[in-house]
């Protein structure tokens, strides 16, 4: 029968080697910080769940991920709106597009675009769609272009595609799903 003491000692030494290693200054390395995040549940005008939206702050801007369901198949505009209120049935309470830089609407507009303008999302035959997009220069809070300012923000899905140039909203049609973004 083998002596378990050397095995236990080896495991103890191995586990202590895996503990926080000191940095070059001789102190333990700090744990990585968590990136600021905002998220919300997409709801239709009748309160039916339509998916979720998540916005994560990174060095290159705001990373937006939208997962939607229950939409009419086809192309839909997706924007960030300036007010974090989604009062049904038309969601007019969310205001216009998030535009802290004061530009015109649409990526094809020679005068620039709103920070809340994003590409169109395709909903498949089953009514589901996904969008991933980076908004350069945006922040969740603080700085010159905070998303979650005093009145918050919302992610909006529209009934039609955005033409990417018509001001103020790209002829995107009615608002069919809305998510109030909140930090956390």
Predicted local distance difference test score (pLDDT) of residue 54: 97
Domains of the chain, by residue range, sit at: 37-183
Q: Tens of pLDDT along 86-101? A: 999 999 999 988 888 8
Question: Which whole number is the average pLDDT over 150-155?
Answer: 95
Whole-number Cα distances in Å, 81 to 28, 63, 98, 151, 168: 43, 16, 5, 11, 12
Predicted local distance difference test score (pLDDT) of residue 33: 64
Kindly indicate the confidence band of residue 40, based on its pLDDT and cuts at 50, 70 and 90. Answer: very high
Indicate the range of 32-36, 41-45, 123-127 predicted with least confidence. 32-36
Give yes or no for residue 108 having a pLDDT over 60. Answer: yes
Query: Reduced to 3 states, what is the DSSP secondary structure of residue 13?
Result: helix
d(Cα 90, Cα 176) in Å, to the nearest integer? 7
Question: Which whole number is the average pLDDT over 4-30?
Answer: 41
Query: Element (H or E) spanning 74, and its range?
Result: strand 74-76
d(Cα 14, Cα 69) in Å, to the nearest integer? 49
Q: How high does pLDDT run on average in the chain?
A: 83
Name the one residue in this structure whose structure tokens are 């001789």. Answer: 26
Q: What percent of the chain has pLDDT over 90?
A: 58
Provide the CATH topology of domain 37-183: Immunoglobulin-like (2.60.40)
């Amino acid at each position: 029968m083998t002596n378990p003491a050397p095995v236990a000692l080896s495991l103890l030494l191995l586990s202590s080697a895996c503990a926080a290693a000191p940095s070059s200054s001789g102190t333990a390395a700090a744990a990585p910080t968590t990136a600021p995040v905002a998220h919300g549940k997409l709801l239709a005008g009748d309160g039916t769940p339509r998916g979720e939206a998540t916005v994560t702050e990174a060095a290159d801007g705001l990373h937006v991920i939208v997962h939607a369901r229950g939409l009419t198949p086809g192309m839909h505009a997706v924007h960030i709106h300036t007010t974090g209120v989604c009062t049904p049935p038309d969601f007019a309470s969310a205001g216009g597009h998030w535009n802290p830089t004061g530009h015109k609407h649409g990526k094809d507009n020679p005068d620039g675009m709103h920070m809340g303008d994003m590409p169109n999302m395709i909903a498949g035959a089953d009514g589901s769609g996904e969008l991933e997009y980076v908004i350069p220069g945006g922040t969740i809070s603080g700085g010159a272009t905070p998303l979650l300012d005093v009145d918050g923000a919302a992610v909006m899905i529209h009934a039609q595609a955005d033409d990417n140039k018509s001001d103020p909203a790209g002829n995107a049609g009615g608002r069919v799903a809305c998510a109030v973004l909140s930090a956390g």
